[in-house]
C-alpha cells in the first residue's frame, strides 16, 4: 500500500520554464537582459545579459552519469525536449506516479551563482527583476492546482529594502513562503541590517527557507588550471547539505527566533542526520562561552524545536535520531526532478527508511508537519 506523502522540497528549474517566463513579465527596458531562449548549434540556450545560463531542458555532463543520472536520461530529462516540471498537468502525472499528493516547490535554484556549467546573474538589480517575474510566474502556476502546488517565492539579497518589498509582493500573490540566498548577501544574515526583513516575514506569515547548493563551492570543489577531479566534486556533493549548519547556528545565535517567535524557518534539502550533534553543540557552546554575550531566554536547541524545520530525502539514520529528538521538525521530500532525489521510486525508499518507525512519527515526517507548516489542509 502506497504511503501518503507530501514533498517538502521539489523544484522548478530555469531549464524547464516556458520561453516567455521572464520577457512577458518585465517592463520593456529589461526584456533584452532577463533570461530568454537563444537558438545555438547545441540547441536552445537560456541567456541573460549576454551570459549563457544553461541549456533548455537539459541536465548537462556530470549530472547524467551514475545510477540516478541514468534515470534522468531514461525519463527524458536530459533530452533537451522534456519540460514536464513546468507543465501543471504533466507534473501532476509525474508526482502521482511517485505517490506524492502535494509539493512545496523551490524555484530557479542556482540562477545567481551559475548552474549546470553555466554562468550566473551577477547584477543584483537584474536578479531582483528576474525574481519578481519568477514570483509572478509561480503564483500563476500554483493557481493551476492549488491543492497540489505550493511554489515558493524568491527574495533578492543585495538590499534589505528590496527584499522587504518583494516579500510583500509574494504575500500579495498568495505565496506561502519565500527563499533567501544566505551565502552572498549584501550583509551576513546574522547582521542587524536584515532585521526589517525578518520582521516583515513574521508579520506576513511567510515561511522563510534557506536551500543548499545556493552557496559557493568549498575547498573540496576547487579547479586547478581549469580542471576538476571527480573526487573533489564528489566530496562537495557529500558535504554540501551541511552548508546549512552555518545558517542554523547564525540564525539562532543572532537571536532571530528569539525576537520573532512566530517566524518559521526551513533548512531546505539539508538532510537531518547531522542536526542532533549541532543542536547539542549549540547548547554546550552557548552555556560555556556565549550566555553572557547573547543572553537568549531559551537554550539554542529550543528555538529549533519551536520554529525551525529541515527537509530530507534519504536519511535513515537521521530519521531514527530525529524520531526521538524532534519528530515535529523534519519533513520528507522527493526532490523532483533532481538527481539527488528519489523520484520515481519514492515509495520504495519510504518503505525502506521508515521500517520500524512508529506510524504516528511516519505520518508527521511524510505529510503532517509540512501540511501544518504551509497550511496545506491535507
- Please indicate, yes or no, if residue 234 is contained in any of the structural domains: yes
pLDDT at 60: 67
Contact 121, 10 (CB under 8 A): no
- Please indicate, yes or no, if residue 66 is contained in any of the structural domains: no
- Please indicate, yes or no, if residue 302 is contained in any of the structural domains: yes
Count Cβ atoms below 10 Å from residue 279 Cβ, excluding itself: 23
- Please indicate, yes or no, if residue 102 is contained in any of the structural domains: yes
**Who contacts 234 (Cβ-Cβ below 8 Å, separation ≥6)?**
none
Question: Model-level pTM?
Answer: 0.94
Residue 218 half-sphere exposure, CB side, CA atoms within 13 Å?
Answer: 16
Q: What is the pLDDT along the chain (378 residues), one digit of tens a residue?
A: 577 899 999 999 999 999 999 999 999 999 999 999 999 998 899 999 999 999 998 876 667 778 888 888 888 888 888 899 999 999 999 999 999 999 999 999 889 887 766 789 999 999 999 999 999 999 999 999 999 999 999 999 999 999 999 999 999 999 999 999 998 778 899 999 999 999 999 999 999 999 987 765 554 556 656 676 666 666 666 767 778 898 999 999 999 999 999 999 999 999 999 999 999 999 999 999 888 999 999 999 999 999 999 999 999 999 999 999 999 999 999 999 998 899 999 999 999 999 999 999 999 999 999 999 999 988
The separation between the first and the last C-alpha atoms of the chain, rounded to the nearest angstrom, is 19
Tell me the CATH number at 236: 3.20.20.140
Full DSSP string of 76-87: TTTSS---GGGS
Full DSSP string of 274-309: THHHHHHHHHHHIIIIIHHHH--SS-HHHHHHHHEE
Place of cell 521530500: 333
Question: What pairs with residue 211 in β-bridges?
Answer: 268
pLDDT at 184: 77
- Please indicate, yes or no, if residue 341 is contained in any of the structural domains: yes
pLDDT at 236: 61
pLDDT at 237: 66
pLDDT at 64: 74
Cα maximum dimension of the chain: 63
Contact 71, 98 (CB under 8 A): no
Place of cell 525576537: 259
pLDDT at 218: 53
Q: Is 18 left (phi over 0), alpha (psi -120 to 50) or beta?
A: beta
**Who contacts 246 (Cβ-Cβ below 8 Å, separation ≥6)?**
none
Residue 337, preceding bond cis, omega within 30 degrees?
Answer: yes
pLDDT at 69: 85
- Please indicate, yes or no, if residue 73 is contained in any of the structural domains: no
- Please indicate, yes or no, if residue 217 is contained in any of the structural domains: yes
- Please indicate, yes or no, if residue 214 is contained in any of the structural domains: yes
Total number of domains constituting the chain: 1
pLDDT at 124: 95
The whole domain housing 337 covers 5-14+84-374
Contact 260, 305 (CB under 8 A): no
Report CA-CA distances (Å) from 53 to 73, 116, 119, 180: 21, 8, 5, 20
Amino acid at each position: 500500500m502506497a504511503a501518503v506523502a507530501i514533498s517538502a522540497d521539489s523544484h522548478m528549474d530555469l531549464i524547464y520554464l516556458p520561453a516567455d517566463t521572464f520577457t512577458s513579465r518585465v517592463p520593456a527596458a529589461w526584456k533584452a537582459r532577463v533570461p530568454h531562449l537563444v537558438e545555438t548549434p547545441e540547441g536552445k540556450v537560456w541567456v541573460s545579459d549576454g551570459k549563457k545560463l544553461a541549456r533548455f531542458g537539459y541536465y548537462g555532463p556530470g549530472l547524467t552519469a551514475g545510477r540516478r543520472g541514468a534515470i534522468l536520461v531514461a525519463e527524458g530529462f536530459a533530452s533537451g525536449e522534456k519540460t514536464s516540471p513546468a507543465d501543471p498537468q504533466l507534473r501532476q502525472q509525474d508526482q502521482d506516479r511517485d505517490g506524492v499528493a502535494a509539493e512545496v516547490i523551490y524555484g530557479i535554484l542556482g540562477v545567481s551563482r551559475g548552474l549546470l556549467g553555466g554562468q550566473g546573474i551577477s547584477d543584483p538589480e537584474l536578479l531582483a527583476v528576474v525574481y519578481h517575474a519568477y514570483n509572478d510566474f509561480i503564483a500563476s502556476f500554483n493557481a493551476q492546482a492549488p491543492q497540489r502546488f505550493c511554489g515558493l517565492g524568491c527574495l533578492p539579497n543585495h538590499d534589505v529594502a528590496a527584499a522587504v518589498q518583494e516579500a510583500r509582493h509574494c504575500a500579495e500573490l498568495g505565496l506561502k513562503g519565500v527563499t533567501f540566498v544566505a551565502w552572498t548577501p549584501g550583509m551576513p544574515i546574522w547582521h542587524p541590517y536584515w532585521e526589517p526583513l525578518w520582521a516583515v516575514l513574521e508579520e506576513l506569515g511567510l515561511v522563510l527557507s534557506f536551500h543548499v547548493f545556493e552557496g559557493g563551492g568549498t575547498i573540496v570543489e576547487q579547479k586547478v588550471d581549469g580542471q576538476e577531479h571527480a573526487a573533489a566534486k564528489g566530496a562537495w556533493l557529500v558535504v554540501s547539505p551541511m552548508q546549512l549548519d552555518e545558517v542554523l547556528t547564525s540564525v539562532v545565535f543572532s537571536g532571530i527566533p528569539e525576537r520573532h517567535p512566530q517566524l518559521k524557518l526551513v533548512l531546505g534539502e539539508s538532510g537531518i542526520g547531522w542536526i542532533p550533534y549541532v543542536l547539542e553543540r549549540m547548547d554546550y557552546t552557548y552555556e560555556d562561552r556565549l550566555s553572557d554575550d547573547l543572553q537568549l531566554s531559551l537554550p539554542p536547541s529550543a528555538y529549533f524545536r519551536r520554529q525551525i524545520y529541515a527537509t530530507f530525502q534519504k536519511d535513515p539514520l537521521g530519521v531514527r535520531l530525529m524520531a526521538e529528538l524532534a519528530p515535529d521538525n523534519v519533513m520528507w521530500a522527493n526532490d523532483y526532478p533532481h538527481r539527488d532525489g528519489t523520484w520515481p521510486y519514492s515509495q520504495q525508499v519510504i518503505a525502506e527508511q521508515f521500517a520500524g518507525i512508529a506510524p504516528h512519527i511516519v505520518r508527521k515526517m511524510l505529510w503532517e508537519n509540512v501540511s501544518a507548516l504551509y497550511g496545506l489542509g491535507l
